[in-house]
């Protein structure tokens, strides 16, 4: 596969950048600015929008992605693209408006020097890479359309770790700051601008929201939102992130990370957050996720009780002179009936004989025998995080008939814009907890606090899990960066404003909770914000595991490469 990419890029002998160059005002097309929309089809790990390409139009379902900025469609010449991914595009001989510009190659390798060949680019995503030719054609979404000169990327090769369907991407990313007007290629420079769809179609403002059991809505030419959080990011849609609080009212508790008071000299923000429709989960640094899980357990009565019972059982075993190693498996669970679970835990440890002395020392520290009190407390807290994960994993044992929004506390993400405007993005438990079949593999925290904790998945039935994944993304100016994926769009309508060409209006975001602005539906290219009756009924009637969104395939993870800033 790598050889195929190399040959493709050597033959094309061109490297195109990622939609960085803004056109002059006189080049921007004039379009009807009336609000319109298009339905967003829910695929579980992402949502897609129906896009028209070519004349006459060929229709494709493209991933609606606010984390990238290109319009990509699968080309029928892509030999590496699986048939079950869906439909592919044919330009030559089928679309009257199709153009595939070719440029004189200066690359002496593979005998391509002097030949006229398509420009090509290699795009990197969290799930792998796409090689694409740069083409021109008509593209339309809802009632909007654009003649995308050098703006249609044809996927001709790929190395993606994805389960279909996947026909391409409609990038709706932030307009990037202009860095240069030239694109490098072998033997010289080429001045090529690769516009994104929103720019080419003259869409300044758009919105996006998802429904759990129905189509979501992509709004285009949406009205200006009264609240604006100016984008902190210069490359991505990003906001200043001031951490997470748990619960409501007087009982609200602030998790200890991302405190603005801890910002270091030279930093723009202590942490950053990217609202990204193309990422399935919420991602953050592993250590900060561990802190979040610890505090969630402390604020969840069932978890606090389970942790207390486990600690007591460990004390009792220690008092009996047993050397205790901690290996919590599916045969040693912590469901609602703790007595039975703790007996299984004790039996599992007895069956294994004496544990490794190193583990015994760790447990002794946790249970109060540590000379370093602070170290013991830290070990105990990390153990609490694992009790939280175990309780969720065994949700079928205790969640039947339980209203999870009342069972667990709410999470509040504190964010701010470059203009100083602040807001909270609150997620209910039914949004930040998901369910999956046991065979679905989701990355989990490892080596918490030095404890040798092993969590094995069941082979049958469903498990629950936090809709979080550890993903390192550290920048010099914006600190640790979180990515807020699809859960955000189930609770809020996210509004995006690309700003003005002259820079007087900065790119910004705004978020309206579903209680104030229901996602609604898109019918006949019009947004209907009325609450969907069937959705309301299902939301109130369902309890337990059945009330959660189900993860049916591996989640899509974003792979951002910038280490300087957003």
Mean pLDDT for 13-21 is: 34
Could you read off the pLDDT of 61-78 as tens digits, one per residue?
999 999 888 999 999 999
Tokens of 338: 């703790």
Contact 34, 143 (CB under 8 A): yes
pLDDT exceeds 60 at position 203 = yes
| 236 has pLDDT over 90 | no
Directed axis angle between helix 301-319 and helix 286-298, to 10°?
Answer: 90
Q: What is the pLDDT of residues 141-173, one digit of tens each?
A: 999 999 999 999 999 999 888 877 899 999 999
Position 243 pLDDT exceeds 90? yes
pLDDT of residue 531: 56
**Higher per-residue confidence, 208 vs 532:** 208
| Confidence tier at 114 by pLDDT (50, 70, 90) | low
Across the range 394-419, mean pLDDT stands at 94
Position 12 scores a pLDDT of 35
Q: What pLDDT shows up at residue 544?
A: 87
**pLDDT score recorded for residue 317:** 60
pLDDT grade for 477, boundaries at 50, 70 and 90: confident
pTM of the entire structure?
0.79
Give me the half-sphere count of Cα atoms (radius 13 Å) on the Cβ side of residue 263: 16
Asked whether residue 550 carries a pLDDT value surpassing 90, the answer given is: no
pLDDT number for residue 455: 52
pLDDT of residue 181: 39
Query: Residue 565 has what pLDDT?
Result: 43
Query: Is the separation of the CB atoms in 166 and 85 below 8 Å?
Result: yes
| Confidence grade of residue 251 (pLDDT, cut at 50, 70, 90) | confident
Q: What average pLDDT does range 225-243 have in this prediction?
A: 91
Q: What is the pLDDT of residues 116-130, one digit of tens each?
A: 788 888 888 777 889
pLDDT of residue 119: 84
Does residue 175 have a pLDDT over 60? yes
For the ranges 27-36, 63-72, 226-235, the lowest mean pLDDT is seen at: 27-36
pLDDT of amino acid 107:
64
At residue 380's C-alpha, the angle toward residues 328 and 431, to 5°, is 70
Measured distance CA(394)–CA(250) in Å, rounded = 30
| pLDDT score of 321 | 55
pLDDT at residue 309 greater than cutoff 90: no
Maximum mean pLDDT: which of 156-160, 306-310, 341-345, 414-418: 414-418
pLDDT band at 210; cut points 50, 70, 90: very high
Q: Look at 139 and 538; give whichever has higher pLDDT.
A: 139
The model's pLDDT over 317-337, given as tens digits with 9 standing for 90+, comes to 666 655 444 433 333 333 334
2-10, Cβ contacts within 8 angstroms, sequence gap of 24 or more: 2/159, 4/80, 4/131, 4/157, 5/122, 5/129, 5/131, 5/157, 5/159, 7/110, 8/120, 8/131, 8/156, 8/157, 9/120, 9/122, 9/131, 10/107, 10/109, 10/110, 10/112
- Looking at residue 14, what is its pLDDT? 35
Measured torsion, CA atoms of residues 148, 164, 544, 211, in degrees rounded to the nearest 10: 20
Q: What pLDDT was estimated at residue 553?
A: 72
pLDDT at residue 562 tops 80: no
The DSSP string of 138-154 is EEEETTEEEEEEEEEEE
Domains along the sequence of the chain with CATH: 2-203 (2.40.70.10)
Other Cβ atoms less than 10 A from the Cβ of 380: the count is 18
Residue 4 pLDDT class (50, 70, 90 cuts): very low
Query: What are the counts of helices (DSSP H) followed by strands (DSSP E) for the chain?
Result: 11, 31
What tokens appear for 109 in the block?
């390798």
Task: Give the per-residue pLDDT at 13.
Answer: 33
User: Considering only 147-151, 157-161, 189-193, 360-364, which range has the smallest mean pLDDT?
Assistant: 360-364
Share of the chain above pLDDT 70, in %: 70
Question: pLDDT over 90 for what percent of the chain?
Answer: 48
């Amino acid at each position: 596969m790598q050889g195929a990419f190399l040959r493709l890029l050597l033959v094309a002998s061109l490297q195109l950048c990622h939609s960085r160059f803004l056109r002059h005002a006189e080049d921007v097309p004039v379009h009807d600015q009336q609000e319109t929309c298009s339905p967003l089809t829910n695929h579980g790990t992402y949502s897609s929008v129906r896009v028209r390409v070519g004349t006459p139009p060929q229709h494709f379902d493209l991933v609606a992605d606010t984390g990238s900025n290109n319009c990509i469609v699968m080309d029928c010449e892509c030999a590496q693209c699986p048939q079950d991914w869906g439909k592919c595009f044919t330009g030559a001989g089928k679309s009257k408006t199709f153009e595939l510009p070719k440029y004189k190659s200066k690359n002496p390798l593979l005998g391509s020097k002097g030949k006229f060949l398509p420009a090509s680019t290699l795009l990197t995503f969290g799930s792998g890479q796409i090689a694409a030719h740069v083409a021109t054609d008509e593209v339309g979404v809802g009632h909007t359309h654009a003649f995308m000169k050098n703006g249609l990327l044809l996927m001709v090769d790929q190395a993606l770790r994805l389960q279909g369907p996947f026909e391409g991407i409609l990038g709706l990313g932030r307009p990037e700051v202009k860095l240069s007007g030239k694109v490098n290629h072998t033997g010289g420079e080429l001045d090529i601008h690769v516009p994104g769809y929103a720019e080419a179609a003259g869409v300044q403002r758009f919105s996006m929201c998802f429904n759990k059991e129905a189509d979501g809505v992509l709004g285009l030419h949406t009205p200006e939102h009264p609240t604006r959080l100016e984008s902190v990011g210069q490359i991505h849609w990003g906001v200043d992130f001031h951490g997470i609080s748990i619960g409501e009212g007087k009982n609200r508790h602030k998790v200890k990370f991302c405190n603005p008071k801890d910002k270091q000299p030279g930093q723009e923000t202590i942490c950053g957050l990217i609202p990204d429709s193309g990422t399935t989960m919420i991602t953050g640094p592993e250590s900060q996720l561990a802190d979040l899980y610890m505090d969630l357990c402390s604020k969840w009565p069932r978890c606090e009780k389970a942790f207390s019972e486990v600690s007591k059982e460990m004390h009792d075993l220690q008092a009996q002179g047993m050397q205790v190693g901690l290996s919590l498996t599916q045969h040693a669970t912590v469901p609602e009936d703790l007595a039975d679970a703790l007996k299984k835990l004790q039996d599992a440890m007895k069956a294994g004989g004496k544990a490794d002395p190193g583990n015994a020392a760790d447990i002794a520290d946790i249970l109060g025998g540590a000379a370093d009190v602070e170290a013991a407390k830290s070990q105990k807290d990390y153990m609490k995080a694992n009790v939280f994960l175990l309780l969720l994993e065994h949700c079928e044992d205790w969640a039947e008939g339980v209203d999870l929004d009342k069972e667990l506390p709410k999470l509040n993400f504190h964010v701010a814009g470059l203009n100083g405007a602040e807001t909270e993005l609150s997620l209910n438990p039914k949004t930040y907890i998901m369910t999956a079949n046991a065979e679905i593999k989701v990355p989990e925290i490892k080596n918490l606090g030095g404890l040798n904790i092993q969590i094995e998945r069941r082979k049958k039935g469903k498990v629950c899990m936090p809709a979080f994944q550890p993903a390192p993304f550290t920048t010099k100016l914006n600190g640790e960066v979180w990515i807020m994926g699809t859960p955000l769009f189930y609770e809020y309508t996210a509004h995006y404003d690309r700003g003005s060409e002259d820079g007087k209006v900065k790119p910004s975001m705004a978020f309206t909770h579903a209680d104030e602005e229901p996602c609604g539906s898109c019918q006949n290219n019009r947004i209907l914000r009325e609450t969907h009756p069937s959705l309301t009924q299902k939301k109130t009637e369902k309890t337990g595991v059945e009330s959660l969104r189900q993860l049916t395939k591996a989640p899509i993870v974003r792979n951002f490469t910038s280490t300087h800033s957003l």
